[in-house]
Structure 1
């Protein structure tokens, strides 16, 4: 009965998902639980031993059953350590040679195997079910509320066509009273952070975070995660950076839902998800990959063809042919330096999808400077780069941890090493975000200076000593930041019935708890313990309703006279000693 009671209590604790209080269990309490698990195991061994003894006793003492095979007699005493007996000929030789009562013999062999399995499994599964698991658990109370309503600038929360209507929101910039804050919207802090980060020069990528964005400190903290992949180890410094960031409206609603005053900041988590009324199952966030090809040569504004080679990660190698003369027709409108001999052109958005074997979001040509006329080529050595940008919306989990406040975290459900393979499989026209020139021009403007057409593209300068991968990496970070920022929040309309998106948040607490969730081992352990409960209750029922309950007492009767008579272990040999009487007489 003790083993049954403990097993039932453990099942109830896991069904109720009982959580331990903060700071518990302590080390001493965990030690006590380990001793309790050992006691539970001992009770199970005693129970199955008693059940098997009753079976053997029943077979020996009931005349209608017949004798029990000799190889089964010692089985109850091996249940505490059954491995040697289980693989011995003593058991298998008996099990494979049935006695006179075939079904009794077979059921006894099966019962021995079942009880041996329960005895072996009792040790690990008692400990697994007794000791609570450490993890994130949803508490009985939820203070996160119903989330926040969000009004988006577009009809679709994750548009494929990025036009001027999807431009960055300016909700945070009050031009009259916060001019200094809005001046932080230039890309200087972002560039400095990427430039100062450790170089990723190995083929094994690792994750880095950029915490700055175009809005400075006025935006919710949502680190932009980026990694660099070496697409071909034979080519020096040819890298493919990938960046992603959760959408700002998701992280902002998380921060408003954070129960700072109710929970310890070190052991809670808030997970965000779309409300059912929004018609979405999961959040998405942009995943941006950038792969560039650069050259250092003498360039003229009159060059008809400039070839860029792309040893591509997704497909075979390909080349891109750029007509600099046609693309740089705007040079007359740009600044001129060096006494009219060279230009510093603004970045050019190229329409070269037909030359590329995979769908892309946009292609950008960066040229540091070009000669005005071919006769000036010897005096103007230019650095040119064509960058292909591929962006798509991917499913993501977004949450906020007490230990990482105020920064939100996100997970794409795949490892860093799996991202290139994912991009290769999903590079289809229907999945790729298409960035129109109008959107590219809008995100290139400084928010505080609407007339600064494409001014931020000028800021993406090629630092001579930075290495090729830094500009590429920054471009991926920049686009991930821009794609995650088009939104506006409607704080005044909380009572209105219609919103594009409504978020829902759930609080989780980090600690010890009993639960069946996210653990197959716990389920298996409970199944084994439940098997023991069923066998034990069946055994009790047999004893209660048996017509010969006296056969159930096996512990003290193994070597009494009745057992010995039935098993033939007592052999009495009566020897009669006779005397021979010899009579002698006189003859």
Structure 2
């Protein structure tokens, strides 16, 4: 009956080395394909694609298979290094002997014995390559499964499909002017009933009036109002800043000088129109990949870092009954960005309002005012005179509300989601000046009273002017008692609302701003980034990037190992399984180094002992009682780390040099060669 034949433990030759590297080809190949999909932002499928769940489940299975190939690759790397040191002059710590068979398990990382063997004092420099290989391979194997699944299974998100650059025929100084004068609005916008013209700043009057009529003074607070123009729908948000309140029941009815701040923000009507015009022109280009599709369009300027600007307005108002004593100051200390920095601006209400005109004694009077000509100043000022006849009092008794307006163009990300609604969306309702965004900073707006007057014309069907009408509407529809202390927050609310909508309509009168067939490298390019909701690959998020790094680390380890083997041409065919190593141990003589270990190992020093594989020593007497460690037979030996050089313990207790019995490449082991020589002599 034929038995086991002698086998080669160490091979020498590039052909055999190449064959041992084949284990790395499949996992590296899969990794390259998966990373290519993520780097190229490959779009996989729309939501609702037929049999999509089955495909995703199949990819989960494929990710598990990929993990198995990675673990097999890492196992080959560790086994190579362990066997190389085992048959070489270095040897390996006893605790590291089986590390190559435990790749894919997390438990070895918590074993103190493994760490004690890898970082032994006096051997750390010699063992550093082995230690790094074992630890890195154990870590990579533990996380390769999640990394493969994260990168291989497409994720539900918005994925960019294409970018279209359109040339805009108007300069950005017209889109977002930093100084507004009457030239920034069509001439017809300053006439009666101009609010009927959608190109005028006052075109949103009716929508604002409806908001004021809805709840009157008790309604003032954080509100969102929708403005619709053609296909475009945008939202204007208004809210108090700080603890501003105009509830007359809160105790403010006896306070005559409380300052109030309201802020408002809205997307630019012009930019919103650009987005929807682009979508209406290019919608056929983005036909669905399935019956269920959803697209998103984002707009950006220049290189795409900043998408667009929107107006954000803050108004601080204060009420004062002492208008006859002289000048009154514009309040600005509670604005988010104080334009005055300690400065004081005043005006004399007696030069602004007609106190003695009996025809106006029951009417409110309003005026825009250019606050200052200095470099640091608010956008514009305003004041309103209110007679007490509004509260059933003497019309000759009046109060004055003084307001300071600070307006900014702030950066904003805006986009369309036509599959969801017809709104123009934005990343946030208000810009936070304490946390600036990357890209272009906010820009301050100076508003000339000549432009502001376009917001206070006599509207169609109303009398007298817009601001007076809004003020009266809020008073008449209040659900609570109204007192003079309510005037300041009400005016702050109205002015922030009205000015923001007016600024949002700047440049809305421009015709056909861009052509889809025209693009130039100028500051007036608009970048339309088209996104699609579905499953795709990409490098979005830190977790995905970490998964990519893990896969690349494995690829790097495998490639270094491949080049190292192929360069040396040295390979190892023995002990690729734990059973083969166990067979070698069983065929090795007992050693004093492992006394009292048959029931377990309790001394950490035992795990630190150095193990080597050597060819058996030739005996002095050839006979039936010859020891098992014979030439041609391989055994495990334990090196006494405390013995002097030249006095090392072998498996059978015999002394010899460390170099004795070193294995040779392309040599078969298993049958004692001295027995073969004896047979030849006979």
TM-score for the superposition, normalised by structure 2? 0.65
What is residue 108 of structure 2 aligned with on the other side?
Answer: 85
C-alpha distance 539-473 of structure 1, shift in aligned 2 (>3 A): same
What is residue 97 of structure 1 aligned with on the other side?
Answer: 120
Alignment of 1:535 with 2:538, yes or no, is no
Alignment of 1:367 with 2:367, yes or no, is no
Question: Aligned to 2:120, what secondary structure does the other structure show?
Answer: coil
Alignment of 1:293 with 2:350, yes or no, is no
What is residue 584 of structure 1 aligned with on the other side?
Answer: none
After TM superposition, list the pairs within 5 Å mapping 1:121-520 onto structure 2: 121-139=143-161, 146-147=165-166, 149-151=168-170, 156-167=174-185, 185=203, 187-193=205-211, 196=214, 208-212=223-227, 217=229, 220-231=232-243, 239-258=260-279, 259-261=282-284, 262-263=286-287, 267-274=294-301, 282-294=307-319, 304=326, 312-314=334-336, 323-329=348-354, 332=357, 335-336=359-360, 342-353=361-372, 359-369=377-387, 378=394, 380-382=396-398, 384-403=400-419, 405-411=421-427, 416=430, 419=432, 421=434, 431-446=443-458, 455-462=465-472, 463-464=474-475, 465=478, 469-487=489-507, 488-491=509-512, 501-516=524-539, 518-520=540-542
Q: Over the residues paired in the alignment, what is the CA RMSD in angstroms?
A: 4.7
What is residue 53 of structure 1 aligned with on the other side?
Answer: 79
- 1:138-170 Cα offsets, whole Å, 9 max, x none, are 22x56xx54364447x96432222111112586
Q: How many residues align?
A: 529
Aligned-pair distance for 1:357?
Answer: 12
Aligned-pair distance for 1:118?
Answer: 1.0
Q: Which moved more, 1:473-482 or 1:550-559?
A: 550-559
C-alpha distance 43-200 of structure 1, shift in aligned 2 (>3 A): farther
What is residue 566 of structure 1 aligned with on the other side?
Answer: 636
Out of 125, 130, 143, which is 1:108 matched to?
Answer: 130
Q: Distance in 1 between the 2:262 and 2:233 partners?
A: 22
Aligned-pair distance for 1:112?
Answer: 1.2
Aligned-pair distance for 1:486?
Answer: 2.6
Larger Cα-atom Rg:
2
Aligned-pair distance for 1:94?
Answer: 1.9
Aligned-pair distance for 1:187?
Answer: 1.8
Out of 29, 33, 46, which is 1:9 matched to?
Answer: 33
Q: Distance in 2 between the 1:528 and 1:431 partners?
A: 44
Q: Which moved more, 1:85-94 or 1:225-234?
A: 225-234
Q: Which moved more, 1:125-134 or 1:550-559?
A: 550-559
Q: Is the 8 A contact 2:275 2:299 kept in 1?
A: yes
Q: Which runs of 5+ in 2 are unaligned?
A: 1-22, 253-257, 480-485, 589-612, 614-633, 640-649, 655-682
Q: Is the 8 A contact 2:387 2:395 kept in 1?
A: no
Q: Which moved more, 1:122-131 or 1:21-30?
A: 21-30
Aligned-pair distance for 1:434?
Answer: 1.8
Q: Distance in 2 between the 1:407 and 1:68 partners?
A: 68
TM-score for the superposition, normalised by structure 1? 0.75
Aligned-pair distance for 1:359?
Answer: 2.7
Q: Distance in 2 between the 1:280 and 1:9 partners?
A: 30
Q: Is the 8 A contact 2:316 2:331 kept in 1?
A: no
Q: Is the 8 A contact 1:170 1:447 kept in 2?
A: no
- 1:443-498 Cα offsets, whole Å, 9 max, x none, are 3225769xx99822221215233766454233212111111223233349969999
Q: Which moved more, 1:497-506 or 1:69-78?
A: 497-506
Question: Aligned to 1:187, what secondary structure does the other structure show?
Answer: helix
Q: Distance in 1 between the 2:571 and 2:397 partners?
A: 104
- 1:1-41 Cα offsets, whole Å, 9 max, x none, are 43223212211211232111213583443333333323322
Q: Distance in 1 between the 2:85 and 2:416 partners?
A: 65
Question: Aligned to 2:413, what secondary structure does the other structure show?
Answer: strand
Q: Is the 8 A contact 1:168 1:443 kept in 2?
A: no
C-alpha distance 170-525 of structure 1, shift in aligned 2 (>3 A): farther
Question: Aligned to 1:421, what secondary structure does the other structure show?
Answer: coil
Q: Distance in 2 between the 1:27 and 1:253 partners?
A: 38
- 1:164-215 Cα offsets, whole Å, 9 max, x none, are 11125869x9x99x99999x9472321322554799999xx97x43223xxx
Aligned-pair distance for 1:263?
Answer: 3.8
Q: Distance in 1 between the 2:359 and 2:61 partners?
A: 81
